[in-house]
Each structure stands twice: as C-alpha cells, then as structure tokens.
Amino acid sequence: MKAKQPEQPNGVKEIARRAKVSIATVDRVIHNRPGVSAKTRTKIEKIIQELNYQPNIIASRLASRKVLNLAILIPAKSIETEYWEILLAGVLQAEEEIRQMGVRIHRYFYDFNDRSSFPKAAKQLLKNEVDGVLLAPLFIEEATDFCGQLQEKNVPFVFINSDLPGLDSLSYVGPELFRSGYLAAHLMSYCIGLKDKILVVNMTKQKEGIHPLLRKEEGFREYFGEKPSRIVKTDALETSDDTVERKVAAALAADPAIKAIFVTSSRVHNIARYLETAGKNGILLMGYDFLPENVAWLQKGMIDFLICQKPQEQAYRGIMTLYQHLVLGIAVEKEHFMPIDIITRENHMYYKN
C-alpha cells in the first residue's frame, strides 16, 4: 500500500559533510547562534544556498520541545449575539490543527458593553509570557494602548474583525467594511424600484456609535451618493425589542415609500421579528452575519439577504498567520480581506462561517 522511498538526502548531515564540520556547527549557523567563526559561517551558508536546504520541520519539531504561547483577546460571548462564539470555534479549529506543533492558545475575554473590561483582560494577558496575540480591537483607545505595550515587548499581534491601520500590526484578517456596505446598497438597488426609499437601522448602546457599523453605513450611502434622499435613518440606541419596534414602526409610518430596510449589524433578526408580527411582508430586509437566529428568518423569508464575512475563518486564519510567522518564519500578508458573502434562502445550507 505504501511504498518506501528514501527522501530528503540533503539535511544538516549532508551540509556538515560537505563543509567538513560537525552537525552542531551547521545547526549553529542555521539558528544564527554564536560560536562560529566568520569564515566557517560563510562557508556553511554558501552550501546551504547551493543545496537549497529546507529544514525538516517534522524532525525539528520533534527535537525541540519548545512551546509557542499564543493568546486571543476578544469579547466574551453574550446573550445579545452569538457572533463571538462562532469566532471562538475558529480558534479551536486552528488549535487542534497545530497543537501537535507545540502551539498553545490562551483565551482572554472582555465585555463589549464595557470599555474598562478591555484593559483588565489585557493586563491579565500580559502577566504571562506570550509569543503572539490575536485580538478584536473594538475600543480604539484601549487597543492602541495595549498594542503599544506589546510592541515594546516585541510581541507580534494580529487584528481580526476590524482594523486599526495606524498601529503596526503583523496583519489584519477581516472584512473591508466600507465595501461591504457599498455592496449591500448595490444589491438592494437591484431589488427595489427607483422611487422606493430605504431605512437604515443602526443598533447599539454606545451613543457615539460603533466604528464597524458606521463604516458599513458610509459605504452604503456612498452608493446612493447622488440620491441621498432615498435613505431614511433611524438610530435605535436602546437595543431592547420594544424600543426597536417603536422606532421602526414610526419610521415606516412616517414614510410609506420605504420598501427596504438595511441593518448594519447582526441584530437584523430583531427587525425580522417585528416585521412578521406587524404583518409587513412587502419589505425587503437585509442585514449581517450568519447566525442561527438570522438564518431562521432567512428561511422564513422575512430576511432576504445576509451579508457575511466568515468570523470563524477570520479567527482560524488569524491564528494561522501568527503560526506561520512565528514557527515557519514565512512572510505573511499585511491585510487579508475576507470575502463579502451574500447569503439567501437558497444557498444558506451550504455556507460555512
């Protein structure tokens, strides 16, 4: 079934043989450690070039029992949204894949309704030795501060979910939010009449708004740049169900031309519930994220489109980016934008977050 074949005949041993030195010396050169004369070093480096030496990472891993400690810092899961739990699944997936390679992942959580919880969790994180960090920087100031400390310690960090371009992150893995909003607008424009109006709903408790949501709205508005009057906006600062219902009901009553609703977050299921109980079936509803609750409304036909950006894969790729950088020494992409996926009643069963 399996044929045996010799392979990889040029490892450190072959290099040592050619350079007429011992394996240990070659090892010192490869790992850039002291204790080798410049002359010997140069000679060995030349031979490594010639042989195009690729270290056997299998053997390497077996020999060095080093452990790579990674950490994640994201919002804790909450009753408000399962989003962060899905993301966590991606972390688990990556962990299982690279555990054999000696990677350990430590989890730290903060409360996305409470700014002050971020530095607390960050402080906990910094207590232990860490080689790399994956974080969702929801609070700009706090995250900036934290990343500064990481940089001092020379610990690389990767952003997911939303980017902070100013900081010197190893990479960003996540959506291009502006584009995502623009796409939503384009898709919506296909589906409604030229004189129909659109209601934009922005649900959050933070009175100053949340950056990712605002970015999406900007992109959305950009598409309708020439006719901004087609967009009606209601901010539902409270997120309790009846507040939402009242605001939406008021908006719909005030302008009967509204034929579509765009929700900038995963809370679109709240609107779907309202539309059903209010018996308003003719309204196109679009929102974000492939959460079970949203999918249920998609199936019922109350939600027409969901735009999704693979939170699980974001986390998976984020971890893998750190791994590739730290273990394999591979150069990594500075930005890895997630696809902007359009989910409907027909394709949702094949979608993977």
Residues that bind a copy of itself in the complex, under the rule CB under 8 A:
1-7, 56-59, 61-62, 65-69, 100-102, 129, 131, 175-176, 179-180, 182-183, 186-187, 190-191, 304, 337-342, 344-347, 349-352
- Rounded Cα–Cα distance for residues 63 and 156 (Å): 25
Indicate which of a copy of itself, DNA, none lies near residue 20 (CB less than 5 to 8 Å, by partner kind). Answer: DNA
Pull the structure tokens for residue 330: 């591979």
Give 2 or 207: the residue with its C-beta nearer to a copy of itself: 2
- Rounded Cα–Cα distance for residues 337 and 333 (Å): 10
CB of 152 to a copy of itself, least distance (A): 14
Sequence-distant (≥ 6) Cβ neighbours of residue 194 within 8 angstroms: none
CB of 142 to a copy of itself, least distance (A): 26
Indicate which of a copy of itself, DNA, none lies near residue 186 (CB less than 5 to 8 Å, by partner kind). Answer: a copy of itself
Give 98 or 271: the residue with its C-beta nearer to a copy of itself: 98
Give 24 or 59: the residue with its C-beta nearer to a copy of itself: 59
CB of 25 to DNA, least distance (A): 4
With b for 16 or more beta-carbon neighbours within 10 A and e for fewer, the 9-45 pattern comes to: ebbbeebbebbebeeebbbbbbeeeeebeeebeebbe
Give 12 or 98: the residue with its C-beta nearer to DNA: 12
CB of 223 to a copy of itself, least distance (A): 8
CB of 73 to a copy of itself, least distance (A): 19
- DSSP class of residue 169? -
Angle in degrees, CA 186, 182, 279, rounded to 5: 60
Sheet holding 157-160, edge to edge: 132-135, 157-160, 171-174, 335-337
Largest Cα separation within the chain, whole Å, is 87
Binding site for DNA (CB under 7 A): 7-8, 11-13, 20-25, 27-28, 30-31, 34-41, 55-56, 59-60, 62-66
Pull the structure tokens for residue 63: 């020999």
Give 186 or 300: the residue with its C-beta nearer to a copy of itself: 186
